[in-house]
Each structure stands twice: as C-alpha cells, then as structure tokens.
C-alpha cells in the first residue's frame, strides 16, 4: 500500500509518515501543494491523505484538479477545519473520506485500509484466496487460520495482489505500489520478494504470468499452466 501524504506541518507530517510506515505502508510525504498535485497526477498511489490548509495551494483545489483530470485515487482529507461546511465542501470536491485533527492514528489507518479495499471493489473486509485470508480492516494475513508474519515489502506486495486477486498485476504497477518515490529500486528485488513470499505461503498461490506480471489465485497450478 503506497500512500501520498500531503501535510505541511513539519512535526505532524513526519510523525504520520512514521506511523503509517509502521503499518507496512510506503509513504511519500510532501509539504508543498504544487509537488503534491504533480505526484498525484503522475505516480501510482493506493490512497492520498490530504491536508487542506496548505501554503500557496489549497487542498480543495488540488483535489478538484485531480478529479477534473479523471484521477480516481482515493483521497482522505485530514484537516484542522472541523466545520460541517468544510466536510460538505470536501466531499463535493471529490473526497472519499474526511478526518479532523487531532485524530487517532489507528482510525486513520483503518479508514485508509477501508478506502483502498472499497476502491478495489471489495465490500467485505476479509478477502480469501484458497488457504490465504487477508483482513483488509486490520491488515493481518492468515494462512490456514494462523497469523502470517511478513516484512513491510512482502506485506505491500501480497496485499496489493490480494486486493486484486485472480487479476494479473503488471510488474511495473507492483513496483510502483511497493517502493517509496525516493527509494533505490533494484530491478531484481521484486523477484526476490516474490520468491520469499512463495516460501512462506506456498509456491502455487502466486502465479507468474510471463511477460505480464503476477497474480494470486486459488486455481490449481495445473489448470493455469
């Protein structure tokens, strides 16, 4: 899960980023409205957390520009403005959720996960694929009823695949969802992560579709090959 975090407060921004990373998210933090709009237009994110009171460029204007450019990325507004007029204006501009400061990081995380899940078309919180269960509300994986321990990178890859289970995710899309904007990416690293995941959950669940990408599937390997 890769999050675009737009927050101009020099204390709050890094604190939120740290908390989100602790929940396995890749976070790109920007404090400037113009950078934020550009990143939202060009990069692939699972969701954006948007502060409204940005210097120079208002959050609502950024959101409106994204929506006018048909950018469907789920946006959660996180602001100190707690008036209902602000909420109404935010949703009218195309926001998907709205939280006011101060807030509980757990709630932010929960709401972000719900946004991402809804954006990928799942109504229920638990997503099952064969023996593998992903609770999109808590972010926990279970394999055959037992909790599954994953590193942050493994979690990002597997959660992305699970949210689009039975669908092929292009290699590049997967890479973009997994690494933060300024990370040094080794082109082989994705294969390394997939290899480790296969060791943990069994080789059959993640299928390599040659020339296209990967998918998680409950179908038997025999049928797919």
The CB-of-36 to another protein minimum distance in angstroms stands at: 17
- Closer to another protein at the Cβ: 9 or 135? 9
Q: Judged by CB under 8 A, does residue 98 bind another protein?
A: yes
The DSSP line for the chain is -EEEEE---TTHHHHHHHHHHHTT-EEEEE--HHHHHHHHHHS--SEEEE-S--SSS-HHHHHHHHHHTT----EEEEES---HHHHHHHHHTT-SEEEESS--HHHHHHHHHHHHHHHTT--SSEEEETTEEEETTTTEEEETTEE----HHHHHHHHHHHHTTTS-EEHHHHHHHHS-TT----TTHHHHHHHHHHHHH-TTTEEEETTTEEEE--S-HHHH-
Looking at 10-18, 126-134, 159-167, 196-204, which segment touches another protein (CB under 8 A)?
10-18
- Measured in whole angstroms, how far is the alpha carbon of residue 173 from the centre of its chain? 12
The CB-of-119 to another protein minimum distance in angstroms stands at: 11
- Which residues in 45-64 contact another protein (CB under 8 A)? 53
Among 69, 72, 83, 221, binds another protein (CB under 8 A): 83
Q: Judged by CB under 8 A, does residue 35 bind another protein?
A: no
Q: Judged by CB under 8 A, does residue 72 bind another protein?
A: no
Applying CB under 8 A, the site for another protein has a residue count of 31
Instruction: Spell out, one character per residue from 108 to 147, where the chain touches another protein: x when CB under 8 A holds, - when not.
Output: ------x---x-----------------------------
Looking at 24-32, 103-111, 139-147, 198-206, which segment touches another protein (CB under 8 A)?
103-111
Separation between Cα atoms, residue 177 and residue 76, nearest integer Å: 18
| Burial per residue of 111-143, b for 16 or more beta-carbon CB atoms within 10 angstroms, e otherwise | bbbbbbbeebebeeeebebbebbbebeebebee
Among 34, 72, 91, 170, binds another protein (CB under 8 A): 91
Q: Judged by CB under 8 A, does residue 221 bind another protein?
A: no
- Closer to another protein at the Cβ: 84 or 182? 84
The CB-of-41 to another protein minimum distance in angstroms stands at: 23
Residues that bind another protein (CB under 8 A): 9, 11-12, 15-16, 19, 53, 80-85, 87-88, 90-92, 95-98, 100-105, 107, 114, 118
């Amino acid at each position: 899960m890769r999050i675009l975090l737009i927050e101009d407060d020099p204390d709050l921004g890094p604190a939120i980023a740290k908390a989100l990373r602790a929940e396995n998210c890749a976070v790109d933090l920007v404090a400037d409205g113009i950078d934020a709009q550009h990143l939202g237009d060009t990069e692939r994110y699972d969701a954006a957390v948007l502060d409204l009171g940005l210097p120079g460029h208002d959050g609502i204007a950024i959101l409106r520009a994204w929506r006018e450019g048909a950018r469907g990325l789920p946006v959660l507004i996180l602001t100190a403005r707690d008036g209902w007029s602000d909420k109404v204006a935010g949703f009218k501009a195309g926001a998907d959720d709205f939280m006011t400061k101060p807030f509980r990081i757990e709630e932010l995380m929960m709401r972000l996960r719900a946004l991402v899940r809804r954006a990928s078309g799942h109504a229920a919180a638990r997503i099952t694929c064969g023996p593998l269960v992903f609770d999109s509300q808590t972010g926990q994986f279970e394999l055959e009823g037992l909790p599954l321990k994953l590193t942050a990178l493994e979690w990002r890859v597997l959660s992305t695949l699970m949210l689009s289970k039975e669908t092929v995710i292009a290699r590049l899309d997967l890479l973009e969802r997994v690494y933060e904007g300024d990370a040094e990416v080794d082109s082989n690293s994705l294969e390394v992560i997939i290899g480790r995941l296969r060791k943990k959950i069994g080789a059959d669940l993640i299928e390599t579709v040659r020339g296209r990408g990967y998918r998680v599937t409950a179908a038997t390997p025999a049928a797919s090959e």
